[in-house]
A and B are shown apart, each in its own frame.
Chain A
Amino acid sequence: MAEITHGTGGLKYDNSKRSWPNEVNIFIALVIIVAIFEILGQVLPYMNGQSFLFDTNDRFDSIFNEARLRIIILQVAIIGIISLGVTQVIISGGIDLSSGPLVAATAMIVMSFAQTELVNGNPNPKAVFGPWAFDLPVIIPILVGLAFGAFIGSINGMFIAFTRIPPFIATLGMFLICRGIAQWWTRGQPVSFPTESYAALGAGMMPVVWFVLLAILCHVLLRYTVYGKHTYAIGSNEDAARMSGINVKRHKVMVYMIASMLAAFAAIILSSKNLTAQSGMGLFYELYAIAMAVIGGVSLTGGRGSIIGTVLGAMVFGVIQSGFTYVKLDAYFQIMAMGAIIISAVVLDKWRQQRAMMRS
C-alpha cells in the first residue's frame, strides 16, 4: 500500500484509493448488452445473420444501423427527461410515482392551450375552450405546462416535507389525482390539432435535442451548484444536513418541484410529437423513469447517483427494449423481462454497496 503522509510534511494522496466511478460500470454493461444482442443475431437460426448495431444493407454511407440507433434514442428521450427529475428526487432520499399520470394531465391541459382554430379549413372538432384559446403563441402552452408541473410538484414536496408522510404514499396519491385530472379535463376525450409552432417542439429528433440539453443542465445543477450538493447531503444523512444549517424542508419542496416540471416538459414534448393528448398517456412512465435511474446506478437509499449514470441507464433501457424487438421476443415477455432487469439492477446496487463496505 502506498504511504500516506499528511500534515506538516506536505500532502501525498493515495490515488489507488480513489474509487472507480460507477458510470464506467454502467457503460461497460451497455457495451456487453449490445454485444450480446449482436451475437444473438448471428447465432439464432431465424435471424438470418442480421446485425443489431451495424448496417448490413451494403450501403456505403453508414457503418451503423442508423435507423435503429435513432429509434433507440428517440424512444428513451421523453421518459429520459422524466428520469432526470426522478434521479434528483431519489438522490434526495425520496421517490416520485406521480410522474406518469402527471404527463397525461399536463398533456391534456397544455394541448387545450395549443389548438388551432381551423383544421383543413374546418373548425377544430376537438376544441376544448372557446375562440380565445385558438392559435395562441407557443410560449403560453409551455408556461401553462411548467406552471402546472411546478404546482403539482410543490404539493408533493410540501406534503412530504411538512407532514412527514412517506414520499411513496404522497406521490402514490398524486398518481391517482393526476390520472383523475387527465380523465376529467375533457371527460376522456382526446385533445388534438395543435398549432404548427407547438407541433415543431417535438417534431423529428427534437425530443433527443431537449433530452440532451436538459441532461446537461441537470448535470450542472447536481454537480456544480449548492442545490445539488444539498440534494446529495439530504439523501445521504438528513440529520447531518439539518444540523449543518440546510433548510431541508424548503429544499425538498424544490427538488419535487423541479422533478415535476421536468415531467411536465416531457408531457409538452410528447403531446407535440404525437400531435394529440390522451388521458391514458404516460402509462408506466413513472416506473420506467425510476428504472432508468436505478439501472444508471442511482441508489434508492439516497445520496448516490448521477445524471451521467441516468443517461447511460436510459441508453441501456432503450437498447434492451430495442434488442428484445430485434430478437423477436414476444411483447408480453418484454414487459416481464423489463421487470426482471429492474430487480437485477437493484440487487446489483446492493451487492456493489456491500463490496464497497468490505473494501474499507
Chain B
Amino acid sequence: MSDIILETRNLTKHYGGVHALQDATFTLRKGEHVAIMGDNGAGKSTFVRQITGVEQPTRGEIYFDGKPVHFAGPLDAREAGIEAVFQTLALADDLDVSDNLFLGREKTKFDWLGPFRLLDYKAMRQDTIAALEKTAVKIPNIRNTIQNMSGGQRQCVAIARTATFHSKLTIMDEPTAALGVQETAQVENIIRTLKEQGEPLILISHNMRQVMDLVDRIVVFRRGRICANLRKEDTDGQDVVAYITGAKTQPEYDVEDVA
C-alpha cells in the first residue's frame, strides 16, 4: 500500500541533560538509498542507535513497514528486518563465515534438546553461499575463520548478514572508514548491488565522493537536529558542506532559534 519502509516522527534522545537528538522526522521509501551526513556529535549515530534498538528513544515514534514499532533490543530490530553493520564489527574472530552470519540465529535440528540442539551446518552453509552470491561478496572460503581475513573481507561478511536474513532495511555506519582503496571499491560495489536489487539502505559516511556516487538523497544532521534533506540532483559537495558546517539551513528545518 504505502511505499514508505521507515518513518520516524519527532524522534528525540536525551542523555541526561545532553540533547543528542531532537525531533528527527525522517522517511525512507522502499528501494531508496539515503546518506546521513554531519559533523562528529551531530546525532547521526544516536539516530541509528534508536532505530536499530540499541537504545530506546526518549520521545517520538518509529514506523517500520507501516506499523509502529518499539524495539527493546537489537535482536528485536533484527527480527523485524533491520540489519545494521556497525563501525565496530560484531564478528567473532575464531568462527568461520557461516558461523558468524548465523551467530545467535543458528539453524538447528532436534530443537527439543534445548541449548544442546544440533546445528544444521549444511543448511547454514548453503544459505551463506546464496547470500554471498546475492551480494556479490568475494570471500576465499566460507570455512575460513574471520581471523585471517582483511578488513574489507570482514566488512563484506558483516554486510552479507543483511542478505542472509532477507532484511527489509540495511544500515551501514561508516562501512569504509577503515578500509583501503580496493576494499572500499569492493564494499561500494556491494552497495550498488543492493541498489539494483531494490534493497533500501541508510548509509552513514563522511566521504563526500562516496555519498555523491551511491545514494539518492542526503540528510544532514547538525547539533542533534536534521537541518537539510537534499536530493542528489539538486545539490553538490560544497552545498552539503555548507549545511554540515552550519552556513546554511533549509527553511523548513530552521527551528534552532526557537529552541
Query: B-contacting residues of A (Cβ < 8 Å)?
Result: 4-8, 11, 13-15, 17-19, 221, 224-227, 229, 232-233, 235-237, 239-241, 243-246, 251, 254, 303-304, 356-357, 359-360
> How many inter-chain contacts with C-beta < 8 Å in the A-B complex?
114
Is A233 a contact partner of B129 (Cβ separation < 8 A)? Answer: no
CA distance A225 to B119 in the complex (A): 5
Given contacts A19-B148, A226-B115, A245-B75, contact A237 B141 (CB under 8 A): no
Min Cβ gap B129→A in Å is 6
Closest chain B residue to A1 by CB distance?
B140
Instruction: Please measure, in the bound complex, the distance between the C-alpha atom of A229 and the C-alpha atom of B108, giving whole angstroms.
Output: 12
A227-B115 in contact given A244-B103, A246-B103, A360-B148 (Cβ < 8 Å): yes
* B74 touching A245, Cβ below 8 Å: yes
- Please determine whether A221 and B75 come into contact, CB atoms closer than 8 angstroms: no
Within 8 Å CB of B133, what residues of A?
6-8, 11
Q: What's the least CB distance linking B180 to chain A, in Å?
A: 15
Residues of chain A within 8 A (CB-CB) of B103 are 229, 233, 240-241, 244, 246
Tell me the minimal C-beta distance from A39 to chain B in angstroms: 37
Q: Once the chains are docked, how many angstroms separate the CA of A119 from the CA of B105?
A: 57
Complex: chain B residue closest to A4, CB-CB: B140
Listed A/B pairs (9) with beta-carbon separation below 8 Å: A11-B133, A13-B141, A13-B143, A225-B117, A226-B108, A237-B90, A240-B91, A241-B103, A360-B149
Q: Which 7 A-B pairs have the closest CB atoms?
A: A244-B104, A303-B94, A360-B148, A245-B75, A236-B92, A245-B104, A236-B94
Q: Contact: B118 with A225, CB < 8 Å?
A: yes
**Given A245-B105, A254-B115, A235:B140 Cβ within 8 A:** no
Supplied contacts A225-B117, A240-B92, A245-B104, 14 more A-B pairs, CB within 8 Å:
A7-B138, A14-B141, A19-B148, A227-B115, A229-B119, A232-B95, A232-B99, A237-B93, A240-B89, A243-B86, A245-B105, A304-B94, A360-B147, A360-B149
- In the bound complex, residues from chain A placing their C-beta under 8 Å from that of B89 are 240
Task: Report Cα–Cα, A226/B140, bound state, in Å.
Answer: 25
Instruction: Output the least CB separation between A17 and chain B (Å).
Output: 5
Expressed in whole angstroms, the Cα–Cα distance for A17 and B86 within the complex equals 28
List the B residue with the shortest CB-CB distance to A227: B115
Query: Given A7-B138, A245-B75, A246-B103 in contact, is the A232-B116 Cβ separation under 8 Å?
Result: no
A8 & B94 in contact (Cβ 8 Å cutoff): no
The closest CB in chain A to the CB of B149 belongs to A360
- B73, B106, B141, B144: the one contacting A229 at CB < 8 Å is B106
Q: Is B139 located at the chain interface by the 8 A CB criterion?
A: yes
Also in contact, A226 and B117, with CB within 8 A (given A232-B95, A244-B90): yes
B60 to chain A, nearest CB (A): 24
